[in-house]
Structure 1
Amino acid sequence: MQRYFVSKEQFIQNGIVIQDEDAHHMIRVMRMKEGDQVIVSDGQERTVLAEITELESKQVQLTIVEQLPLDAESKWKVSIAQGLPKGDKMELIVQKCTEIGAASFIPFESERVIVQYDRKKEAKRIERWSKIAKEAAEQAHRNSIPTIAEPHSWKQLLNSFEQYDLVLFCYEKVDGEGQGIHLKNVLSPFKEQCTAEGISSPTILLIAGPEGGFAEREAEQAESAGAKLVGLGKRILRAETAGIVGLSCVLYESGEMGGV
């Protein structure tokens, strides 16, 4: 069943008004008609089953049929910090990590980032990424849309570590052993700690580098700031793959995907 995210203001008493692109999608693309039902969410507090009662040229009116449970979000809130990649790779990262269950995204600049930062261009890119996150969240039947922060400097990212219960720094060189194999060794005791301390919804920052990876001094700075240096297996992953794999591993270990 088709799902749409709308603002709280579009919920009116026992009804909903859908406008703009979503209304166009319902009328012109999906060719919906009166009596059709969809799922509508405000991305925060309400997700409902609603029935179309009236279609106009630029808006659709619906009546709420029933409230639906808010059970589509992971208990572990994982934010993806991604070194700005080239081209449209960030679009893939946002789309797939949203489907998997990322809570938010933080693009950042680091020593080996190839992309030249431009505030005006980044504003348009953030708007584009936000649209992709919305569409992916609708497709995945999530209850909320991940937020996308403005690009952080490396220093800003380091200073943000204290906001999280756990910071994971994906690094191919862990303890001088080459590709790291220690992600599970970090997540298993962290899960036990959360259980012991009664932390039901821990916040986690997962950091993935750009195409050139991280400089050794950046790894040292991240570790000094409180991050755990972890590897994602014995193979070197592309910039657009690391966050997807890391997020999947974290949510599996949380029990989200059957991990124990």
Structure 2
Amino acid sequence: MQRYFVAAEQFGDSEIRIIGEDAHHAVRVMRTKPGDKFIVSDGQSRTALVTVLEASPMVIKAQIVERLSADSEPSWDITIAQSLPKSDKMELVIQKGTEIGAYAFVPFQSERMVVQYDAKKEAKRIDRWNKIAKEAAEQAHRNRIPSIEPVQSWQELIQSFGSYDLVLFCYEREGHAAHGRGVRLAIREWLENSAAVSTPNVLLIVGSEGGFTDREAAEAEAAGAVLVGLGRRILRTETAGIVGLTCLLYESGEMGGA
């Protein structure tokens, strides 16, 4: 069933309104007409099954038929911090990460970035990334749209570590047999040694195509991050975050792992 997100003020006690591009898409593309049903969420706490009363490309008015439980969100809030990759790889990270269950995305700059950072260009790209996250959240029947933060510097990212319960730094050296620990062991050690948290807030840090420098790894570890590997193979930058996110959700019990 089709799903749409609306602003809180468009979600009333008995009726909802869909406006703008969503209304145009529903009427012109999905051929929505009075009597049709779909699901609407305010992206926070309210989700409902509605029946269309009036439909035009400018606005759709619908009546709430049934309030639905907002139970499609993971029990862990996992943010993917992704060093800016080249081309449209960030779009893939956001789309698939949203489908799987990411809570938020933080694009950042690292030493070995392949792309040339352009603040004006990235600002425009964030608008597109937000649209991709919204569409992916609708497709996956999520109850909220992941937030996408402005691009941060390396130092800004490090300074944010204190706002998370756990920070995992994906470092390829940790994936080899002779080094460190894998993400599974790191999570289980943290669960064993930490006070119970109802909704753990986790930051997963992924490098660009060039990976991280030893200096960045040392700085991250000194700031409280746990260096982890994602296996013995070298993953593409657009794959690493998706794999790490899936591992985390499995260990949280989201996929029957607990």
Q: Shorter chain as normaliser: what TM range?
A: over 0.9
Output the aligned Cα RMSD: 1.5
- What is the CA–CA distance in structure 2 between the aligned matches of 1:182 and 1:175, rounded to whole Å? 6
Deviation at 1:36, TM superposition (A): 0.8
2:34 maps to which residue? 34
2:219 maps to which residue? 221
Letter in 2 for 1:88: D
- What is the CA–CA distance in structure 2 between the aligned matches of 1:174 and 1:186, rounded to whole Å? 11
Q: Scaled by the length of structure 1, what TM-score is found?
A: 0.96
2:24 maps to which residue? 24
Asked if 1 retains the 8 angstrom alpha-carbon contact of 2:176 and 2:231, the reply is: no
Asked if 2 retains the 8 angstrom alpha-carbon contact of 1:172 and 1:180, the reply is: no
Residues 1:175 and 1:114: Cα distance change in structure 2 (over 3 Å)? closer
1:239 maps to which residue? 237
5 Å-filtered alignment, 1:56-95, equals 56-95=56-95
What SS is found at the alignment partner of 2:18? Answer: strand
Asked if 1 retains the 8 angstrom alpha-carbon contact of 2:25 and 2:57, the reply is: no
Letter in 2 for 1:90: M
What SS is found at the alignment partner of 2:62? Answer: strand
Asked if 1 retains the 8 angstrom alpha-carbon contact of 2:249 and 2:255, the reply is: yes
Deviation at 1:192, TM superposition (A): 3.5
- What is the CA–CA distance in structure 2 between the aligned matches of 1:239 and 1:8, rounded to whole Å? 35
1:50 maps to which residue? 50
What are structure 2's unaligned runs of at least 5 residues? none
- What is the CA–CA distance in structure 2 between the aligned matches of 1:175 and 1:123, rounded to whole Å? 34
5 Å-filtered alignment, 1:1-260, equals 1-174=1-174, 177=177, 181-193=181-193, 197-260=195-258
Deviation at 1:11, TM superposition (A): 1.6
Asked if 2 retains the 8 angstrom alpha-carbon contact of 1:181 and 1:232, the reply is: no
What SS is found at the alignment partner of 1:51? Answer: strand
- What is the CA–CA distance in structure 2 between the aligned matches of 1:96 and 1:79, rounded to whole Å? 13
Deviation at 1:70, TM superposition (A): 0.9
Asked if 2 retains the 8 angstrom alpha-carbon contact of 1:172 and 1:236, the reply is: yes
What SS is found at the alignment partner of 1:129? Answer: helix
Letter in 2 for 1:207: I
What are structure 1's unaligned runs of at least 5 residues? none
Asked if 2 retains the 8 angstrom alpha-carbon contact of 1:172 and 1:179, the reply is: no
- What is the CA–CA distance in structure 2 between the aligned matches of 1:138 and 1:82, rounded to whole Å? 23
Letter in 2 for 1:236: I
- What is the CA–CA distance in structure 1 between the aligned matches of 2:82 and 2:245, rounded to whole Å? 12
Letter in 1 for 2:6: V
Q: Scaled by the length of structure 2, what TM-score is found?
A: 0.96
Asked if 2 retains the 8 angstrom alpha-carbon contact of 1:81 and 1:106, the reply is: yes
What SS is found at the alignment partner of 2:133? Answer: helix
